[in-house]
């Protein structure tokens, strides 16, 4: 099953209608950010990173200027995830089409156009291209490739982006599985390593037989990432469960964990999941305020 891309209205908090809900970052000192399409964290001065998701086709580049203005007004850096597909449902959204197109240079101009626009912006920007490539679930059309194929594609795109915008930084962002190191593109192509950490209490209870904490899920992924001697960021973070479970995660994600000396930030995914959770658990709601569910549900 191929994951459907996020709809265009969710490009950034800068271009959405605010919900009127004012949220605060979890307690702690670790830098915190959010993918926040509803603007729930719009007034929180503790939020230091604004996360955007862009397709590299069918993109209105002028909307990036709104995102830049929004971030600058709040003294936030931008984490820009570029997803190599289109928001349209057509034959372009297949692994075979994407692999061939990258190798043939079909998408060079897509990457160049986006990075040229990013290079004109005033916010500090980190580009995250084709994330979670170590995932074999079918969620992304760029994931589960042969490592050499993915590495060649990644390097090609980062080289194009650097030429268009020399002032950007780059995040290589696996999910964090055992095979992640096979996809490492080399120190020259990575400024920071991103990881993903999600906790779903009902699934953990029924499938794993026990609940897991933020530290328990992050620890093995962090260990795999630490070998590259780069700063590490949890680029996508979410948790859902009963009040006690959510409170446990809230108090943990920004705490000082001496075992994670390279951890330099966490970025919350403040939206409902867009790809079905395994074992029939549907689309968990990570959005703060909607992520508290009744025990056992």
What confidence score (pLDDT) does residue 10 get?
Answer: 37
Closest of 197, 193, 181 to residue 263, by C-alpha: 193
What confidence score (pLDDT) does residue 17 get?
Answer: 36
pLDDT, one tens digit per residue, over 86-105 is: 877 677 889 999 999 999 99
pLDDT, one tens digit per residue, over 168-184 is: 999 999 999 999 999 99
Q: How confident is the model at residue 252 (pLDDT cuts 50, 70, 90)?
A: very high
What confidence score (pLDDT) does residue 297 get?
Answer: 55
Q: What is the CATH number of the domain that holds 89?
A: 3.20.20.80
Look at residue 2 and tell me if it is in a domain.
Answer: no
Is 295's pLDDT higher than 70? no
| Paired tokens of 274 | 């867009």
What confidence score (pLDDT) does residue 296 get?
Answer: 56
pLDDT, one tens digit per residue, over 44-87 is: 999 999 999 999 998 889 999 999 999 999 999 999 999 999 87
What confidence score (pLDDT) does residue 101 get?
Answer: 96
Residue 243's CB is within 10 A of a number of other CB atoms, namely: 11
Is 256's pLDDT higher than 60? yes
| Dihedral over Cα of 151, 156, 158, 159: its sign | positive
Query: Which residue bears the tokens 């090609």?
Result: 156
Domain count, the chain: 1
Q: What is the pTM of this model?
A: 0.93
pLDDT, one tens digit per residue, over 115-158 is: 999 999 999 999 999 999 999 999 999 999 999 999 999 999 99
pLDDT, one tens digit per residue, over 210-251 is: 999 999 999 999 999 999 999 999 999 999 999 999 999 999
What residues contact 21, with CB distance under 8 A and at least 6 apart?
38, 40, 289
Output phi, psi for 157, to 5 deg: -70, -40
What confidence score (pLDDT) does residue 5 get?
Answer: 44
Is 31's pLDDT higher than 90? yes
Find out whether 132 and 140 touch, Cβ atoms under 8 Å. yes
Look at residue 3 and tell me if it is in a domain.
Answer: no
Is 3's pLDDT higher than 60? no
Q: What angle do CA 50, 54, 59 make, to 5 degrees?
A: 130
- The whole domain housing 237 covers 8-280
Look at residue 112 and tell me if it is in a domain.
Answer: yes
Output phi, psi for 246, to 5 deg: -65, -40
pLDDT, one tens digit per residue, over 9-28 is: 334 433 343 445 678 999 99
What confidence score (pLDDT) does residue 90 get?
Answer: 75
What confidence score (pLDDT) does residue 19 get?
Answer: 45
d(CA 292, CA 243): 6
DSSP string, the chain: -PPPPPPGGGS-GGGS---S----PPSSSS-EEEE-TT-TTTT-TTEEEEEEEEESSS--TTHHHHHHHHHHHTT-EEEEEEESS-SS-STTSSHHHHHHHHHTTTTHHHHHHHHHHHHT--S-EEEEES--TT--SSS-TTSS--HHHHHHHHHHHHHHHHHH-TT-EEEE-----TTGGGG---GGG-SEEEEEEEEEHHHIIIIISS---HHHHHHHHHHHHHTT-S-EEEEEEEEEBSHHHHHHHHTTTTS--TT-TTEEEEEEE-SB-SSPPGGG----B-STTTSB--TT-
What confidence score (pLDDT) does residue 6 get?
Answer: 47
Mean pLDDT of 180-203: 98
Look at residue 295 and tell me if it is in a domain.
Answer: no
């Amino acid at each position: 099953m191929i994951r459907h891309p996020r709809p265009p209205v969710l490009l950034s908090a800068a271009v959405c209608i605010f919900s009127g809900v004012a949220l605060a970052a979890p307690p702690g000192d670790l830098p915190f950010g959010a993918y926040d399409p509803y603007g729930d964290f719009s007034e929180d001065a503790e939020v230091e990173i604004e996360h955007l998701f862009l397709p590299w086709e069918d993109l209105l580049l002028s909307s990036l200027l709104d995102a830049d203005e929004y971030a600058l007004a709040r003294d936030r850096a931008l984490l820009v995830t570029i997803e190599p597909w289109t928001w349209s449902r057509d034959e372009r959204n297949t692994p075979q089409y994407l692999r061939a197109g990258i190798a043939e240079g079909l998408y060079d101009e897509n990457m160049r156009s986006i990075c040229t626009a990013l290079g004109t912006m005033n916010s500090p920007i980190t580009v995250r291209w084709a994330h979670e490539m170590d995932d074999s679930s079918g969620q992304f059309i760029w994931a589960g490739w042969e490592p050499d194929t993915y590495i060649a594609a990644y390097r090609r795109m980062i080289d194009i982006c650097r030429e268009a915008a020399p002032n950007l930084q780059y995040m290589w962002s696996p999910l964090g599985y055992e095979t992640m190191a096979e996809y490492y593109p080399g120190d020259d192509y990575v400024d920071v390593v991103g990881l993903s950490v999600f906790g779903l209490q009902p699934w953990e209870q029924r499938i794993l037989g026990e609940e897991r904490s933020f530290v328990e899920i992050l620890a093995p992924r962090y260990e795999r990432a630490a070998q590259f001697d780069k700063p590490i960021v949890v680029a996508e973070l979410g948790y859902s469960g009963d009040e006690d479970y959510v409170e446990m995660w809230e108090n943990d994600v920004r705490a000082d964990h001496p075992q994670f000396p390279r951890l330099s930030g966490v970025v919350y995914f403040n939206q409902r999941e867009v790809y079905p959770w395994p074992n029939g658990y549907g689309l968990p709601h990570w959005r703060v305020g909607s992520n508290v569910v009744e025990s056992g549900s």
